[in-house]
Amino acid sequence: MKKENEGKKILTRRLFMFGGFQTVLFSLLAGRMYYLQVIESEEYSLLADENRINIRLLPPPRGKILDRNGQELASNQRNYRVIIIPEQTKSVDKTLNSLQNIFPLGKYEITKILREVKKRKGFVPVTVAENLTWREFSRVNVNSPDLPGIQSEIGETRFYPFGDAFAHVIGYVGIVDSKEMGDEPLLSLPGFRVGKVGIEKSFEKKLRGRAGISRVEVNAYGRIIREINRKEGDSGDNIKLTLDSNLQAFISKALVNKSASVVVMNVHSGDILSLVSSPSYNPHSFNVGISNYEWQRLISNPKNPLLNKAVGGQYPPGSTFKMMVALAAIENGLISLNHREVCRGSIELGEEKFHCWKSEGHGVVDMLSAIEQSCDVFFYQIAKRVGIDRIAKMSKLFGLGEKTGVLIPSERRGNIPTRNWKKNEFGKSWQLGETLHAGIG
């Protein structure tokens, strides 16, 4: 009996201790639940929101480029495009193959997309196609459940109303490359474009604008359920040029199939009214991504359509340079305005003969009549007296050999040769015959 009572006491003590342990454990759990649900509820609610809410940058409308009268030379138009987020699909290849049933997507394009996918992180969207028709865009949306990782977007693309007429001045935009990426998040957006050449490049920061922000709710697969709110970005600034679009179009048409350039300037204000280089190219080709065939056609063209001949070409100036020779001679006291030479159609220097454009010669000419009739023989003789170094010095006083500051990135400096220049460049001495050639431009 005594042993039985002792056993009951031990059992009761153990039950009491176990019950006490349960009570303490329950109290701890209840306290923790209270702490998480009441005290820390706001923080965890915020974390939950962060897991289902994405912040997306909205590309701002690019600023327009206008002519002197407000005519649009570069503007924006609607762009129906498709992007892919690699981490949201098990097989990028299969998804792209499925898209081939909706709109044309060749092997070259697919290879290009896959190459871009490998360069970027899985969560970074990659552009698949742009400038789709409304029908193609609608079919993508209808079939979206069967296209994992694919999203459709309506954005903007650059439009050049005058086509190739302004290509060498306006330039074009293109996809951001790795060298241009930098730290600005806006530049990593799929399909975002920046100015590559011309005014588009010179005024890139002003034209670009500032990005907007969209807060969207997404599901577990990253698909957008709804937009919570958005703040539109700031459009880029409009850039107004001194060019006259009607004059530019007229000159471009006149130069079709010719290799030439024309610059029209208001001599009173210095305004450039027209700047045309022919042949030109279609800026839209670079905007959407130029094909290898078209690129090869451009670079193999002997007339060099990619070169802006007006500011990037380096050519002999021609007879306009004769005035530099005349001024150098007068400035150094070598001749007067009344100085005369006899033009018989050519002069001889050693065994070489230097011809005038007028084979029968101009006869007796002074400074003014030589300039008026562009007599080569007169300026051969003057150049011999002046020498190349003094001609170069006078030319530089007029800014020749320097950039004009026209704000087109492809502009190159001209070259006014001197004795030292030839020695440094070619290791050879300057010859008198070269001075005669320079004397007529």
Using the predicted structure, report yes or no on whether residue 5 has a pLDDT greater than 60: no
pLDDT at residue number 1: 52
State how far Cα 127 lies from the chain centre: 18
Q: What is the pLDDT of residues 7-64, one digit of tens each?
A: 555 555 555 555 555 665 666 666 556 555 555 444 444 444 555 777 778 889 999 9
Residue (of 206, 210, 203, 170) closest to 187 by Cα position: 210
Q: What is the pLDDT of residues 229-241, one digit of tens each?
A: 888 888 999 999 9
Cα–Cα distances in angstroms (integers) from residue 434 to residues 291, 384, 417, 427, in the given order: 45, 10, 10, 15
pTM for this one? 0.75
Catalytic residues: 319
Mean pLDDT value across residues 324-333: 96
Q: Are 152 and 137 in contact (CB under 8 A)?
A: yes
pLDDT at residue number 14: 57
Contacts 24+ apart (CB under 8 A), 260-269: 260/309, 261/308, 261/309, 261/310, 261/313, 262/310, 263/310
Q: What is the pLDDT of residues 370-393, one digit of tens each?
A: 999 999 999 999 999 999 999 999
Distance between CA atoms of 411 and 428, rounded to whole angstroms?
Answer: 29
Averaged pLDDT score across all residues of the chain: 86
Distance between CA atoms of 88 and 122, rounded to whole angstroms?
Answer: 8
Q: Are 147 and 140 in contact (CB under 8 A)?
A: yes
Q: Report which of residues 89 and 418 the model is more confident about.
A: 418
Exposure of 397 by Cβ count < 10 A (0-12 exposed, 13-18 middle, 19+ buried)? Answer: exposed
Q: What is the pLDDT of residues 163-209, one digit of tens each?
A: 999 999 999 999 888 778 777 788 877 778 899 999 999 999 999 99
Percent of the chain whose predicted confidence (pLDDT) is above 70: 87
